[in-house]
């Protein structure tokens, strides 16, 4: 059982969780969903997708084929939601969250978005407590501190001024957009985030791309830069954690976010031999893909765990500096 998880604990809250995926990211969705369920999450999980549902859905009890509703565990339901937007899914996050809140206003008081390469390390009870304090955000690995007089932040302020947003808050944290939690009563934060992404489109950024520009541009990572602008101008309370919360640095306990190399892609051993040993996020991923959703066959999972262990051993002695 992964560290800190509490199986079978249903907290009875009115939280919802969502993610967006396509292609082989369904393997990440399996890890995310398993970590939620094994952590005691009790509620609804929405997985927005493009093209096809995961091949592992046949393992789950289907409640409604029409609604694409499945039972993952006694306390958790999983819905697959087809998404028609041409935008890169990163740029579709706030709209997806808003759509889900609008359609589920009678049953969802707080909505979480997790990228499909995130999985929990602690029990859901921690996240349920976090909900009490407003918008949940985590600092990014790069530019964790971004001073109020940083050139990038000054460029963001110019974009906001063009939208009539007034004066920003003196905030110096720089947030990662892979996880965002928002109470329904603060939907205006998500609306602001969405407006800023739409502003990027109006300024000529191609939102079909994950990185629609270089870092010389103020909206290089459109969804994340827009999120940080929204944090500067929102009147909703923010409740934040540092980069350790996503496992970017040591000392965390809440999540792992596999931002660089996806655990399910390529050869872990070959990367280790090339001087790139597996990160903690990669190592822990294979603890989250066996139950209740089996993302791999027993033989496949054993092979990957052995390869990961061997790669980790190699990394103790050999790695790029």
So what's the pLDDT on residue 116? 97
The mean pLDDT of 286-305, rounded to a whole number, is 95
H or E segment at 311? Answer: helix 298-315
So what's the pLDDT on residue 12? 42
* In the chain, domain spans: 15-246, 265-315
Q: Which two tokens stand for residue 74?
A: 């006694």
Q: Alpha helices of 67-186 — where are they, by DSSP H?
A: 93-103, 124-130, 151-162
User: What are the φ/ψ torsions at residue 107 (nearest 5 degrees)?
Assistant: -135, -5
HSE on the CB side for 311, CA within 13 Å?
Answer: 24
User: What are the φ/ψ torsions at residue 9 (nearest 5 degrees)?
Assistant: -95, 110
In 10 A of CB 58, how many CB atoms?
Answer: 9
Q: Which residues contact 149 (CB under 8 A, 6 or more apart)?
A: none
H or E segment at 64? Answer: strand 61-64
Report residue 320's pLDDT band, with 50, 70 and 90 as the boundaries.
low
Write out pLDDT tens, residues 149-194: 999 999 999 999 999 999 999 999 999 999 999 999 999 999 999 9
- Res 203 pLDDT > 90: yes
The mean pLDDT of 41-48, rounded to a whole number, is 96
- Res 3 pLDDT > 60: no
| Largest CA-CA distance found in the chain, in angstroms, rounded | 58
Give dist(CA 225, CA 152) in Å, integer.
Answer: 9
User: What is the homologous superfamily of the domain 15-246 according to CATH?
Assistant: Spore Coat Polysaccharide Biosynthesis Protein SpsA; Chain A (3.90.550.10)
So what's the pLDDT on residue 66? 95
- Strand-pair category, 15-21 with 43-49: parallel
Compute the mean pLDDT over every residue in the chain, rounded to the nearest whole number. Answer: 92
Give dist(CA 19, CA 45) in Å, integer.
Answer: 8
Share of the chain above pLDDT 90, in %: 81
Q: How is the beta sheet containing 61-64 ordered, strand by strand?
A: 61-64, 69-73, 76-82, 43-49, 15-21, 110-114, 175-183, 135-139, 238-241
Please choose, from the candidates 84, 124, 92, the residue with its C-alpha nearest in 3D space to the C-alpha of residue 20. Answer: 92
So what's the pLDDT on residue 310? 92
Give dist(CA 45, CA 15) in Å, integer.
Answer: 9
């Amino acid at each position: 059982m992964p560290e800190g998880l509490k199986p079978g604990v249903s907290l009875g809250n009115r939280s919802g969780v969502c993610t967006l995926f396509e292609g082989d990211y369904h393997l990440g969705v399996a890890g995310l969903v398993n970590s939620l369920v094994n952590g005691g999450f009790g509620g609804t999980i929405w997985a927005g997708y493009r093209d096809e549902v995961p091949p592992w859905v046949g393992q789950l009890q289907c409640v409604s084929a029409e609604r694409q509703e499945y039972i993952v565990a006694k306390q958790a339901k999983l819905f697959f939601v087809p998404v028609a937007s041409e935008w890169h899914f990163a740029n579709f996050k706030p709209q997806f969250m808003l759509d889900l809140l609008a359609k589920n206003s009678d049953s969802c008081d707080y909505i979480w978005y997790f990228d499909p390469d995130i999985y929990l390390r602690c029990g859901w009870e921690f996240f349920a407590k976090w909900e009490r304090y407003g918008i949940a955000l985590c600092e990014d690995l790069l530019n964790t501190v971004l001073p109020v007089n940083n050139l990038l932040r000054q460029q963001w302020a110019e974009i906001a001024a063009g939208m009539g947003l007034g004066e920003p808050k003196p905030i110096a944290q720089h947030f990662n957009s892979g996880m965002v939690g928002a109470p329904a009563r603060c939907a205006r934060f998500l609306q602001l985030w969405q407006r800023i992404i739409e502003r990027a489109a109006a300024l000529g950024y191609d939102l079909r791309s994950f990185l629609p520009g270089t870092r010389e541009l103020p909206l290089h990572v459109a969804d994340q830069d827009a999120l940080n602008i929204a944090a500067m101008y929102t009147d909703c309370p923010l409740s934040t954690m540092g980069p350790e919360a996503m496992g970017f640095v040591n000392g965390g306990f809440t999540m792992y976010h596999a931002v660089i190399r996806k655990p399910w892609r390529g050869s872990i051993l070959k990367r280790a031999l090339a001087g790139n040993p597996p990160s903690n996020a990669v190592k822990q991923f294979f603890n989250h893909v066996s139950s209740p959703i089996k993302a791999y066959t027993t033989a496949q999972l054993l092979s990957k765990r052995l390869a990961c262990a061997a790669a980790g051993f190699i990394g103790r002695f050999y790695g790029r500096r």
